[in-house]
């Protein structure tokens, strides 16, 4: 069993094609949760984003995952968590998924790669490649499910920012915030967190550097992840 243990919950990830990584952790930790939000997580995988949102104070999360084995594993992760009564995982294709609800927050770490070599593993292809969920269809689904005042939050490759901004603009969704993630200060940003909303404002831009040297987390990333990773859990005071 492949188990990723965090301070308040654990994630079984035997079936999830894409395992927990630093980028997804930073994405989950930086979600704009104020308390009481309804969340829909598109392409949920292990369910980590939904669980992090609930830990931050969201009211409910609905996770939509197309792969059946992964969806079952996600639901098991939810059932083991402290918030199991407010989480559900639905095995469905977001392109055909229908709900009468409109959500305060639509979140997704979508398939990234459009023109790169495909994995021979079907579930990994689905998780990694946009042919299973093109960006245009993802944003159309998000627009359909998003509350009028809600936020769409995406984690995407940095080179796709202009494409995503243009696609969201077609649905009246305007960029509110861009957080570029660099592995180290000397490296270019590979991914970006983008927030969109149906109102026009000047977009805030920020950069997070994940590591300062070796595998040591920077002050920025440590501050974001201190309530999640076991390495940052406070040690008991024996003095």
Q: In this structure, is residue 237 part of a structural domain?
A: no
Q: Which two tokens stand for residue 129?
A: 């490649």
64 or 111: whose pLDDT is higher?
64
Answer whether 47's CB lies under 8 Å from 113's CB. Answer: no
CB crowding 129-155: b at 16 or more within 10 Å, else e: bbebbbbebbbbbbbebbeeebbbbbb
What's the pLDDT at 200?
79
Q: In this structure, is residue 227 part of a structural domain?
A: yes
- With tokens 């603009």, the residue in question is 169
Q: In this structure, is residue 191 part of a structural domain?
A: yes
Q: Say how many CA atoms lie within 13 Å of 90 toward its Cβ.
A: 14
pLDDT tens-digit map of 168-200: 999 999 999 999 999 999 999 999 999 999 987
Q: In this structure, is residue 81 part of a structural domain?
A: yes
Arithmetic mean of pLDDT, 2-7:
92
Q: In this structure, is residue 149 part of a structural domain?
A: yes
Asked if the model's pLDDT at residue 205 lies above 70, the reply is yes
Beta-carbon contacts of residue 89 (< 8 Å; ≥ 6 apart) = 44, 47, 62, 63, 64, 65, 71, 72, 74, 75, 78
Which CATH number fits the domain that encloses residue 14? 3.40.50.150
Asked if the model's pLDDT at residue 64 lies above 80, the reply is yes
Q: In this structure, is residue 190 part of a structural domain?
A: yes
What's the pLDDT at 214?
80
Cβ-defined contacts of 204-208 (< 8 Å, 24+): 204/176, 204/177, 204/178, 205/177, 205/178, 205/179, 205/180, 206/177, 206/178, 206/179, 206/180, 207/179, 207/180, 207/181, 207/182, 208/26, 208/30, 208/179, 208/180, 208/181, 208/182
What's the pLDDT at 118?
40
Beta strands in 13-135 (DSSP E): 38-42, 60-65, 87-91, 103-108
Q: In this structure, is residue 164 part of a structural domain?
A: yes
CB crowding 14-37: b at 16 or more within 10 Å, else e: ebbbbebebbbbbbbbbbbbeeeb
Strands 146-157 and 103-108 come out as parallel
| Residues 126, 129, 135, 136, CA torsion sign | negative
Q: Which two tokens stand for residue 169?
A: 């603009």
Per the structure, how many domains does the chain have? 1
Give Cα separations from 147 to 38, 103, 129, 181, 234 (angstroms): 10, 5, 28, 28, 38
Q: Which two tokens stand for residue 25?
A: 């952790």
The answer to whether the pTM exceeds 0.75 is yes
* Full residue range of the structural domain in which residue 111 is found: 3-232
Asked if the model's pLDDT at residue 237 lies above 80, the reply is no
Q: Which two tokens stand for residue 1?
A: 């069993």
pLDDT band at 132 (very low <50, low <70, confident <90, very high): low
Q: In this structure, is residue 238 part of a structural domain?
A: no
pLDDT band at 88 (very low <50, low <70, confident <90, very high): very high
């Amino acid at each position: 069993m492949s188990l990723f243990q965090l301070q308040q919950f654990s994630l079984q990830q035997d079936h999830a094609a894409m395992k927990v990584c630093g980028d997804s952790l930073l994405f989950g930790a930086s979600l704009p949760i104020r308390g009481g939000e309804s969340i829909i997580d598109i392409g949920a995988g292990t369910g980590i984003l939904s669980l992090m949102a609930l830990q931050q104070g969201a009211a409910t999360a609905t996770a939509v995952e197309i792969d059946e084995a992964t969806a079952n594993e996600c639901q098991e992760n939810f059932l083991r968590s402290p918030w199991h009564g407010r989480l559900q995982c639905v095995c469905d294709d977001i392109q055909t998924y229908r709900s009468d609800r409109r959500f305060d927050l639509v979140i997704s770490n979508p398939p990234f790669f459009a023109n790169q070599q495909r994995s021979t593993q079907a579930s990994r292809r689905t998780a990694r490649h946009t042919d299973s969920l093109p960006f245009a269809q993802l944003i159309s689904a998000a627009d359909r499910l998003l509350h009028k005042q809600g936020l769409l939050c995406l984690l995407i490759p940095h080179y796709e920012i202009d494409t995503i901004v243009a696609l969201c603009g077609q649905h009246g969704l305007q960029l509110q915030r861009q957080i570029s993630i660099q592995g180290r200060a000397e490296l270019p940003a590979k991914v970006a967190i983008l927030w969109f909303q149906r109102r026009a404002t000047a977009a805030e831009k920020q950069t997070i550097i994940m590591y300062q040297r070796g595998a040591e987390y920077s002050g920025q990333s440590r501050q974001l992840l201190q309530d999640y990773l076991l390495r940052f859990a406070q040690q008991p005071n024996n003095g």
